[in-house]
Structure 1
Amino acid sequence: MKFLQLFGRLRSIVIGMVHLKALPGTPRRSLTVAQILEEACKEAEIYRKAGIDGLVVENMNDVPYTLHVGPEVTASMASICAAVRQTCPHLPLGIQVLACANQQALAVALAAGLDFIRAEGFVFSHVADEGLVNACAGDLLRYRKTIGAEHIQIFADIKKKHSSHAVTADVSISETAKAAEFFLADGVILTGVATGQEADPRELQAVRRSVQIPVLIGSGVTLDNVEKYGDASAFIVGSYFKHRGDWRNNVDYEKVVAFMEKIHKLRD
């Protein structure tokens, strides 16, 4: 499996979030790209020293998000991600471009030498706080093929956070996961209803029984609840690793170290 080749394990991989400061053209931008790049590399280095298994770079501070991401964001993230890759040359790295800018994420990943993307809206339409999101798997995988980026894995959110799924209320989480697998996702991601909110362990068990691809937990994992998700392929952790558990704050090195120590004990 590509997941095993990338991470060296099939269970309990820990992926930390590098939340970039607000990028050019967004309402809260206050730093230059060079300053944002420097902060991102510092954060990545903290994670690396703490023993993290992988990282995802994300433009989380670009609120309010738009479904029409401009070229200035894509270009900035390519530059920043290339620098993070130089900082962590041997660490598995991924990217998410909010909101739902999955083709842009693939382009950045290819240019910066990243390993995977986190994709929103892969299968089944839903209503996000940015607006109506339509499924993108067909176009996204054709784009990946066209640009020669088949080696870049796509981990797809299903029934994602910050969204209404009333339009697909008759489609279960397991059926959604099966659809993502059928549409050639390299893994699926389960979340709670919002950033920092716990995913449902029962949904993890149901999805694990339904698909053969990796199942990742994408929100709400902490030192106290990680045992609930022992069957997960990976944990994408952002809020918990920040000071006071707030994603807007800087990474707390000691929290990452303590979390990784517990993970190693659970693996043993």
Structure 2
Amino acid sequence: MDLKHLFQTENPILGVVHLLPLPTSARWGGDFRQVMDRAEQEATALAAGGIDGIIIENFFDAPFTKDRVDPATISAMTLIMDRLAGLVTVPLGINVLRNDAKSAMAIAACTGAKFIRVNVLTGVMATDQGLIEGNAYELLKYRRELDADVAILADVLVKHAHPISTPNLTAAIHDTVERGLADAVILSGWATGQVPKMDDLKDARANAGDTPILIGSGATWENIGNLLQVADGAIVASSLKRHGKLSEPIDPLRVSQFMESAQQGIKIRQMRQKQFA
């Protein structure tokens, strides 16, 4: 995948809008207007801070179903995606948790979103939702049927999960790229907010070929410069929120600070690439 074609930069930083609980979720509050207002505020804050792309996900719907979500969730996320597409100009993507990739693809195709995140594209993962099986065949078949120009960003050994079918990171990367045909791979730490090990990043870089690698968790303004010496970009959520707390809204000042650090890291990377060219 050509990241520059999709995000207008070779090293994109993607912010995340964590939607408040949606209809039928355990913590649904009964006020969809509040959900929409919060999503608009966070997307605007991310775009104003210079973010390169935004992922919308039903983060606060936990506990999640492991695969197909309720139709009300799909309807709500479609309405929100359509609204945000008219509000910000940066590329939008969607992640339907925990692993409803087919619904994510449908929403993206109907709203003009440019990419989706898939937590388990290939293999089998043991999670708090039970065993989640990847189904790259069905997803890519569905994308073709929809004639959707939607990129698939796939996690490798996704956080909050243990692999059942894959012996190690190297094998998981090969399966995700060569057999699952992911457009980009995402590497995370064990849990939300935890950074992946540098050795794992280097292993991913050595085995992913030309497929871009994105950081999926743990990126902060302090470490993003170093991470971008190996990874091609990052997905960031927690560290952009007020006081760095997941429950808080996006802080535009933290977004700007993060993007400044990222740009410095990108400049260092480009200088090194020129030196060894």
CA contact under 8 A between 1:18 and 1:55: conserved in structure 2?
A: yes
Verify the 8 A CA contact 1:17 1:238 in the aligned structure 2: yes
Deviations 1:174-229 (A, max 9, x none): 22111111121101000111111111111111111112201010000011111331
Structure 2 equivalent of residue 178 of structure 1 = 174
Give aligned pairs, total: 263
Secondary structure at 2:246's aligned position in 1? coil
Superposition deviation, residue 33 in structure 1: 2.3
Q: Measure, in 1, the Cα distance between the counterparts of 2:3 and 2:257.
A: 25
**Counterpart position of 1:207:** 204
Asked if the contact 2:16/2:236 (under 8 Å) is kept, the reply is: yes
Which residue number in structure 1 is paired with residue 216 of structure 2? Answer: 218
Q: State the one-letter code of the partner of 2:161.
A: S
SS of equivalent to 1:87: coil
Question: How far, CA to CA, are the matches of 2:119 and 2:144 in structure 1?
Answer: 19
1:191 and 2:212 aligned: no
Q: TM-score, normalised by structure 2?
A: 0.92
Query: Which position in structure 2 is the counterpart of 1:131?
Result: 130
Deviations 1:68-101 (A, max 9, x none): 411000010000011111111x201110001101
Q: Which residue of 2 aligns with 1:239?
A: 238
What SS class does the counterpart of residue 159 from structure 1 fall into?
coil
Aligned to 1:20: 19
Give the aligned CA root-mean-square deviation in angstroms.
1.3
Alignment partners' CA distance in 1, 2:232 and 2:247: 26
Matched residue, 1:253: 252
Contact 1:93 1:116 (C-alpha < 8 Å) held by counterparts: yes
Q: Is the 8 A contact 1:10 1:214 kept in 2?
A: no
User: Cα deviations across residues 120-159 of structure 1 (Å, max 9, x unaligned)?
Assistant: 210111111111111210111011111111x100000010
Residue 265 of structure 2: SS of its match in structure 1?
A: helix
Identity %: 33
Unpaired stretches in structure 1, ≥5 consecutive residues: none
Query: Do 2:225 and 2:266's aligned partners in 1 also have CA atoms closer than 8 Å?
Result: no
- In the alignment, which residue of structure 1 is the partner of 2:72? 72
